[in-house]
Chains A and B, each alone.
Chain A
Amino acid sequence: MTEKAILYDSTSCIACRGCQVACKQWNDNPLDKEENWGDCPQTADISASTWLKIMLNEAKSYGDDTFLFTRRACMHCTDAACIKVCPTGALSRHELGFVTYDKDICSGCGYCMEFCPFGVPQSTRNTLTGAAKMDKCTLCTTPGADRMSENYEPACVKTCPTDALVFGDRDDLVILGNQKVSELKDEGYNNASLYGENELGGLHVLYVLEDSPDRYGLPLTPEFPAMADVWQDIIQPVGLAAGGLLLAGLGLNYIIASRAKAAREKAAKKEV
């Protein structure tokens, strides 16, 4: 199936946060406690019940003091470490390329939180019992609230008044994004880039940025954590092989030793 994606154009975003509201409404997520920072009542970051947040980064950009807006939510990586480390298969690859999530089968282990290069998965956790459930943006593929299967746009895209969010075939959006970037460069924004085209095998959320990604709080070179491979490709198979060999070895030993013991007892009887 053709892979889909969201294109977020930071230069068109006015930080109205309509997308945040639409996300909460569609997914029936409750409000988080807000802290009042000057004129901007805001939650500090995304959370288990806030899957999408427009971040207001104060920065000096091209000589001006300004806000650089960015969209913080799951990036839906092609090389997704979270899928690799999830022990229950609650996180998996959607046919449209997204990282989809079945909350019912989440065990709450939190490995995805530790291995995500963007720190996206969040959970509610009872510190005493360890009972936990992770939550994150599923790009509207949550079972029971699946807009994709109905051919609807994601809730955030649907509500965006400035078309800063666009949904479509990923290949088309890469072309569109690069067009916007070259226009920005023509206007003198020399650090402009399309973030997510190649990062981690290609993200399914693409960013048109007029300045360097780190100004937006995005990692310049997000990396697939090596430890994710160690756990899934080495430790798990080695452990299973060792366990299997052990049981086979003990069984074999039992057969050989039983015979040896019987033979000895027979020999001892003869001597008597």
Chain B
Amino acid sequence: MAKEVERYSKATRYLHWMHAISFSILLLTGLILFVPALGFLAEDSWTRILHRIAAVLFVVAPMIYVPLNMKRSGRGILSAFKWGKEDIRWLLAAPRYYFLCDEEAMPPQGHMNAGQKMWWLIALVFGSLFVVTGGMMWFAKDTASPGLLQWAVIIHDVSFIVTMIMFFVHIYMSAVHPLTRPLKGGSWDSMFCNGKMSADFAKAHYAKWYEEVSENKDSG
């Protein structure tokens, strides 16, 4: 059996599952209001109720995760804001990788590559905006001023556009793109299955992280 390294802890994988499910529901029930032709599906508020149930999942999951994994959460959140030269070089080389499948062009990366880090940063920022503006529309509908609620709608929608794009890119790049397949032993398994990634895949995609991990058994 090929050598494997642990990449995501059980708690992290559960959190990811919760967000994958809740965000998909939130996206679909929100999309209905965004595409006029689908508007009829929102009749009688049932999508609003689903949207709220998913929103609760989306908010509660990290509220349970963070206190139980303080150290890991702190490190994870900080890492979204740590950007270096290697990250810029990775982004510049990304088109060669994703279009020409040129794996040698990529500079070595840490636990997250620059693309993942960008998505993680966007998820943090816009996820927070979603929660704040969504909370306003849910609980302050009768009390907040109309002007404030108008802004909440607009910010919620801009967040929707940005995260929807990145969400699809994220799924595509981690599960559909030719280089991610076969899924066995790659990113997919590490996040959705056993949390482990083959040593070969880790070396090829996260060289710096692989070095660290080989020294001290640490996972994110």
Residues of A participating in the B interface, judged by any CB pair closer than 8 Å: 87-89, 104-111, 113-115, 119, 125, 127, 129-133, 225, 227, 230-231, 235-236, 238-240, 242-243, 246-247, 250, 253-254, 256-258, 260-261, 264
**Assembled-state Cα–Cα distance A230/B151 (Å):** 11
Please give, as numbers and ranges, the residues of chain B lying within 8 Å of A130 by CB-CB distance. Answer: 45, 48-49, 51-52, 138
Q: Count residues of chain B with CB under 8 A from any CB of chain A.
A: 45
Summed over the interface, the residue pairs from A and B with CB atoms below 8 Å come to a total of 132
Across the interface, B34 reaches (CB within 8 A) one of A89, A239, A253, namely A239
Q: 23 A-B pairs, CB-CB below 8 angstroms?
A: A87-B34, A87-B42, A88-B39, A88-B40, A104-B44, A105-B39, A107-B39, A107-B42, A107-B47, A110-B137, A111-B153, A127-B138, A129-B52, A130-B45, A130-B52, A225-B150, A227-B154, A239-B34, A243-B165, A253-B99, A254-B178, A256-B100, A260-B100
User: Does B160 interact with chain A (Cβ within 8 Å)?
Assistant: yes
When the two chains form their complex, are residues B178 and A258 in contact, meaning their CB atoms are under 8 A apart?
yes
* 0 or 1 for each of B68-99: is its CB under 8 Å from A? (1 = yes): 00000000000000000000000000000011
Q: A87-B32, A114-B153, A250-B172 are in contact. List 12 more A-B contacts (CB 8 A).
A: A87-B33, A107-B44, A115-B150, A125-B141, A127-B138, A129-B48, A132-B48, A227-B153, A231-B154, A246-B169, A253-B98, A257-B179
Among candidates A88, A89, A132, A253, residue contacting B177 with C-beta atoms closer than 8 Å: A253
Measured in the bound complex, the distance between the Cα atoms of B52 and A121 in whole Å is 23
Q: Which residues of A contact B141 (CB under 8 A)?
A: 110, 125, 127
B132 to chain A, nearest CB (A): 17
Contacting pair A257 B98 (CB below 8 A): yes
Nearest CB in chain A: distance from B157 CB, A: 5
Asked if B48 and A109 make an inter-chain contact with CB atoms under 8 angstroms apart, the answer reads: yes
Interface status of B146 (Cβ within 8 A of chain A): yes
Task: Scan residues 5-51 of chain B and give those whose CB is less than 8 A from a CB of chain A.
Answer: 32-36, 39-40, 42-45, 47-49, 51
Which residues of B have CB within 8 Å of A239?
A: 34, 157, 160-161, 164
A89 and B39: CB pair below 8 A? Answer: yes
**C-alpha gap A111/B151 in the complex (Å):** 11
Hey, which chain A residues are within 8 Å of B99, CB to CB?
Answer: 253, 256-257, 260
When C-beta atoms are compared, the residue in chain A nearest to B165 turns out to be A246
Q: Which residues of A contact B33 (CB under 8 A)?
A: 87-88, 107, 109
Contact A109 B35, CB 8 Å, known A238-B161, A242-B161: no
Residues of B near A89 (CB, < 8 A) are 36, 39-40
Nearest opposing residue in chain B for A240, CB measure:
B35
Whether B178 contacts A261 by the Cβ 8 Å rule is yes
Given contacts A107-B44, A235-B157, contact A260 B101 (CB under 8 A): yes
Q: How far is the CB of B31 from chain A (nearest CB, A)?
A: 9
Q: Which residue of A lies closest to B157 (CB)?
A: A235
Nearest-neighbour CB distance to chain B for A105, whole angstroms, equals 5
Expressed in whole angstroms, the minimum distance between the Cβ of B142 and any Cβ of chain A is 7
B156-209 residues with Cβ-Cβ distance < 8 A to A are 157-158, 160-161, 164-165, 168-169, 172, 176-179
Cα A225 to Cα B154 with chains together (Å): 13
Q: Which of B40, B101, B150 is the one whose CB lies under 8 Å from A105?
A: B40
CB-contacts of B129-144 with A (<8 A): 137-139, 141-142
Query: Closest Cβ of chain A: how far from B158's Cβ, in Å?
Result: 7
What residues of B have a CB within 8 angstroms of the CB of A87 in the complex?
32-34, 36, 39, 42
Kindly supply a per-residue 1/0 record for chain B positions 112-145, scoring 1 wherever the CB is within 8 Å of any chain A CB and 0 otherwise: 0000000000000000000000000111011000
Cα of A113 to Cα of B152 in the assembled complex, Å: 14
In the assembled complex, the Cα of A19 lies from the Cα of B100 at a distance in Å of 73
- Distance A105 CA – B176 CA, assembled complex (angstroms): 38
Q: From residue B76, how far is it (CB to closest CB) to chain A in Å?
A: 27
Bound: A264/B149 CA distance, A: 54
Which residues does chain B contribute within 8 Å of A235, judged by CB atoms? 154, 157-158, 161
- Assembled-state Cα–Cα distance A236/B34 (Å): 6
B179–A250 CB distance below 8 A: no
Please report the C-alpha to C-alpha distance between residue A238 and residue B165 in the assembled complex, in whole angstroms.
12
Chain A residue, CB-CB nearest to B97: A257
Q: Select from chain A the residue with minimum beta-carbon distance to B145.
A: A114
CA distance A230 to B153 in the complex (A): 11
> What residue in chain B is nearest A129 (Cβ atoms)?
B49
Q: In the docked arrangement, what's the CA distance between A132 and B142, Å?
A: 12
Enumerate chain B residues within 8 angstroms of A131, measured Cβ to Cβ. 45, 48-49
Distance in angstroms between the alpha carbons of A115 and B149 in the assembled complex: 9
Query: A107 to B45, Cβ gap below 8 A?
Result: yes
